[in-house]
Structure formats: structure tokens, C-alpha cells
Amino acid sequence: MTNIHSEKILILDFGSQYTQLIARRVREANVYSEIHPFDMSADDIKAFGPKAIILSGGPESVTIESDIRAPEIVFQMNIPVLGICYGMQTMAAQLGGMVEPSSLREFGYAQVRARGHTTLLKDIQDESNSEGHGLLDVWMSHG
């Protein structure tokens, strides 16, 4: 029998109202997950031993000065990291990307295409475009 705790996902919570739903979806895929606060210590993250980390959304924005960031160890563990909403913003900012504010509010259906070659999204697509690139249908809500 397989130990469900051998391959576990750590969800770092930045205050999103959807964090529990994210954990439920991970568990519905028969993967063990736990939710912990975003400021979990580096030692505790290492001791947890995640196979991947999800950074949740939250009410913050990296365009506003704040100390609310992912622990640096998250990006040093050589494991997959998925950022959702604020989680993606902080990941981009902490890894040298630029996040800019927008005056437009966006809410609704969108399609995204992962650029570059990654095994994380290999063979995951809802459809493909005329150039053969895989597209994912997503729901966005920001502003």
C-alpha cells in the first residue's frame, strides 16, 4: 500500500478565500496537502518535505510596499512552485520579474498559453491554437 504522505503538496496561504478550495482540489486528485501560513519558517518547510508548493492568492499586491512575501527557501528547493494570483505576483517579483498595476479590473474567462518548455504543464491543455500550442481555459478575477 502506498503511503499518501510520501508525495505531499505544501500550500502557503496568503489569505485567499479560495485556499481551502485549492486544498480540496489537490486532495480530490488523491494527493496529500496541508495549508500553512505564508510565513512558515524555512526549517519547517524543509521538515515538511513537500514535492511541490502552491502559493495561494490573497488581498495584497506586490505593487504596494509590504513584507508579505514567500520564504526564499521556496525557490531554493528545486521543486515545482505554482503561484495563484498574489502567489504568482510575489513569485515573479522575488525572482526578478516586474509586476505593474493596472487601472483595469478583469473578471471572467480567459485562455493562457505556457511559454517555454516545461514538464510541469506537459500534455495539459484544453485546446490548441493554430500554431499547435496548448491553451488552458482559466477563470480570472483581479483588479
| Per-residue pLDDT at 71 | 96
* Residue 101 counted as domain residue: no
Enumerate residue ranges in the chain where pLDDT < 50. none
* C-alpha to C-alpha distance for 62 and 77, rounded to whole angstroms: 23
Q: In CATH, what number is assigned to the domain containing residue 35?
A: 3.40.50.880
124: left (phi over 0), alpha (psi -120 to 50) or beta: beta
What domain range is 46 assigned to?
8-94
Tens of pLDDT, residue by residue over 73-114, are 999 999 999 999 899 999 999 999 988 887 877 788 888 887
Work out the mean pLDDT of the chain and round it to a whole number. Answer: 87
Please give the pLDDT value at position 3. Answer: 67
**70 & 31 share domain:** yes
